Chains A and B, each alone.
Chain A
Amino acid sequence: DAGITQSPRHKVTETGTPVTLRCHQTENHRYMYWYRQDPGHGLRLIHYSYGVKDTDKGEVSDGYSVSRSKTEDFLLTLESATSSQTSVYFCAISEPGTVNTEAFFGQGTRLTVV
C-alpha cells in the first residue's frame, strides 16, 4: 500500500464546531485529493492540490477549506460542521506524467456531526 495516513480515523463532533482532518503521505506525490463517500453518491471530490500552496475546488467544496504548506501534508477543514457533512472522507494521492497516474487512497476518516 502507498504511504498515506489519515488522522483521525474516527471523529464525533458537534454542529457548529470547526474540524480539521489530516492527510500525510510519504510518497512525494504532487497531487493530493479529498473525497467524501456517501451511499448513493459514490465518491465526490471536495478539493485537490497540485503542489505546495496550489489548491483548487472540486464538485462539493462549499463548507470546506484546505491547506497544503508541505508536500506531504494536506489538511481539510470544516469551518463550521453541519450534519450534512457526516460522511466518510478519503484522501488520495497521485503523480502525473507517469504510467502510474492512478490515485492511491488512504484508509478513510469516519466523521459524525451530531
Chain B
Amino acid sequence: AQSVSQHNHHVILSEAASLELGCNYSYGGTVNLFWYVQYPGQHLQLLLKYFSGDPLVKGIKGFEAEFIKSKFSFNLRKPSVQWSDTAEYFCAVNRGGYQKVTFGIGTKLQVIP
C-alpha cells in the first residue's frame, strides 16, 4: 500500500525565514503529488500539484515544490514566510490513473512575527 511520510510535525519559524517541509512517499510507479494547506478553522485547499513535466512546481502564495523521483520526495519550499502562512500543511499522493488519495499526517507551521 502506498504511504506518505511528513517528517516535520510542528515547525516554528520567524517571519522572513525560509521554509522547507519534507514529504516522502512509498509508491514506485507513476504518481500525482499534491500539497494542501489548512488555515485555522478552515477546510483544506490545494496549494500546488504535480502531474507530469517540470519537476519544479510553483503554487499560490509563493510556494513551490520539487519532485525528485529518485528520492521519492516532494518537498515544499518558500523563500520567505509570513505570519499569514501559519497553517497546517498536508502532502498527498495518488497513483497515476487511480482516484484514491493518501494523505500524510500533516505539518503544523507556526510563524512568529
Contact = CB atoms under 8 A, between A and B. Distances in A.
A103 interface: yes
Given A42-B90, A94-B99, A108-B43, A102 B106 contact: no
Q: How large is the interface on B (under 10, 10 to 19, 20 to 34, 35 or more residues)?
A: 20 to 34
B34 A48 contact: no
Contacts of B101: 33, 45, 94, 103
Nearest to A100: B49
A105 B45 contact: yes
B100 to A, nearest CB: 7
Main secondary structure of the interface of A (DSSP, over half): strand
Interface string A54-66: 0000100000000
Interface in B55-113: 90, 92, 94, 99-106
Interface of A: 31, 33, 35, 40-45, 48, 50, 58, 90, 92, 94, 96, 99, 101-108
23 contacts: A31-B99, A35-B103, A42-B103, A42-B104, A42-B106, A43-B90, A43-B106, A44-B103, A45-B101, A45-B102, A48-B100, A90-B44, A92-B44, A94-B99, A94-B101, A99-B51, A102-B46, A103-B92, A103-B101, A104-B46, A105-B36, A105-B43, A105-B45
Interface of B: 6, 9, 32, 34, 36, 42-46, 49, 51, 90, 92, 94, 99-106
